[in-house]
Amino acid sequence: MIIIFPGQGSQQIGMGKDIYDNFSEAREVFNEVDDSINFQLSKLIFEGTEEDLKLTKNTQPALMAVSIAFLRVLEKEFGFSITKQAKYLAGHSLGEYTALCASGVLSLRDTAKILRVRGEAMASAYPKGGAMAAILGVDIDIIDKIVNQISNDKFLVQIANDNSIGQVVISGHQEAVKSAMNKAIEVKARNAILLQVSGPFHSKLMQPAIEKLEEVLNGANFNNASVPIIANISAKAETQGFRCLLIKQLTGRVRWRESILFAEQHGITKCVEVGAGKVLTGLVKRTSPNIKLYNINSLESLSKIKELC
């Protein structure tokens, strides 16, 4: 089994409220996150506006908190153990930090602080003139050729996310991204869609955020992972060296499709997405349709874990 944790785009107002109301373990997670960042994030998650929640400084710790709250409930109320029942963990972009918390590499308090700083640093790194776009229905090798042909330091575009077969996200200067989109359509991409994001994430334009991220990472205590994590940047199972991997992840490619293929090639037949939404299980289904999928994202869905224990 692999347990996966969602990234930006899965957030919604009210996520996790049902388990917050029903389980003390969940409340403890939200309270600790609020305390660690000195901000009532739980109030924003449950009662705030979509506009405030989608600010990346809020989205990142919020999605992590929801996933960890569900995981704590599974562990303490349902007897689920990731060390006994999961072979791997993985998370998409910020979700990788959730995986680090789940596997004991980082404490919950440190994870929340890091994601708050990471979100603030990413939002301010390149506040204007950047863009991201999803390219659908064309092979990644073709997109690779397009971006390599047109990209340079002043007209930058690169692959940010290799999400699944037929879904690639590009990132960089707005005009360069639009140029790559047009060229993708010319080579028969099914669609090219500009994403509503606050910056050109997972591109070299995030370089100004590295110093702040390094500072907060260096202030945190890192342990070895109790369950190997398939890292975004390497698409291989890792148990240590995460500081370096997380710095590279900020400006590098999220190799999600390759990560899922790695898991499948190493015997994974079940995948459980823990946290808000169902985005990642949708991506897994397109890449590895033989993997059985589960979502733990509501009070009602918790009963599904009985099939996995």
Q: Using CA atoms of 295, 76, 108, 53 in order, give the dihedral in degrees to the nearest 10.
A: 40
Tokens of 254: 């999220």
Q: How many helices (H) and strands (E) does the chain have?
A: 14, 10
Domain boundary among 197, 222, 238: 197
Same domain for 213 and 247, yes or no, is yes
Q: What is the pLDDT of residue 309?
A: 66
Predicted confidence (pLDDT) at residue 103 exceeds the cutoff of 80: yes
Q: How much is the average pLDDT of 203-229?
A: 97
- Give 17-58 pLDDT, tens digit per residue: 999 999 999 999 999 999 999 999 999 999 999 999 999 999
How many structural domains compose the chain?
2
Max Cα distance, the chain (Å):
54
CATH number of the domain where residue 183 is located:
3.30.70.250
Q: How much is the average pLDDT of 104-125?
A: 97
Same domain for 254 and 111, yes or no, is yes
Same domain for 109 and 14, yes or no, is yes
CATH number of the domain where residue 235 is located:
3.40.366.10
How far CA 160 is from CA of 10, 111, 140, 253, 261, in Å, comes to: 18, 23, 11, 5, 18
Residue 162 main-chain phi, psi, to 5 deg: -100, 90
Same domain for 148 and 291, yes or no, is no
Domain boundary among 148, 169, 197: 197
Q: What is the pLDDT of residue 250?
A: 97
Residue 183 main-chain phi, psi, to 5 deg: -65, -35
Same domain for 175 and 286, yes or no, is no
Q: How much is the average pLDDT of 179-190?
A: 95
Same domain for 264 and 181, yes or no, is no
Residue % of the chain over a pLDDT of 90: 94
* pTM listed for this prediction: 0.96
| Angle ∠(15,102,204) on CA atoms, nearest 5 | 80
Same domain for 152 and 120, yes or no, is no
Q: How many CA atoms lie within 13 A of 247 on its CB side?
A: 13
Q: Which residue has the tokens 């003390």?
A: 24
Q: Which of 48, 102, 24, 36 is nearest to 275 (CA)?
A: 102
Q: What is the pLDDT of residue 257?
A: 98
Residue numbers of the domain that contains 291: 2-125+206-307
274 pLDDT band, cuts 50/70/90, is very high
- Residues classed as catalytic: 93, 202
Is there a contact between 120 and 165 (Cβ–Cβ < 8 Å)? no
Tell me the DSSP string of 138-196.
Answer: S-HHHHHHHHHHH-BTTB-EEEEEEEETTEEEEEEEHHHHHHHHHHHHHTT-SEEEE--
Residue % of the chain over a pLDDT of 70: 100
Same domain for 93 and 188, yes or no, is no
Same domain for 119 and 11, yes or no, is yes
Predicted confidence (pLDDT) at residue 243 exceeds the cutoff of 90: yes
Domain boundary among 150, 168, 197: 197
Q: Which 8-state DSSP code applies to residue 229?
A: E
Predicted confidence (pLDDT) at residue 15 exceeds the cutoff of 80: yes
Average pLDDT score, the chain: 96
Same domain for 210 and 119, yes or no, is yes
- Distance CA(114)–CA(276), nearest Å, equals 20
Same domain for 167 and 256, yes or no, is no
Same domain for 163 and 293, yes or no, is no
- Distance CA(36)–CA(71), nearest Å, equals 19
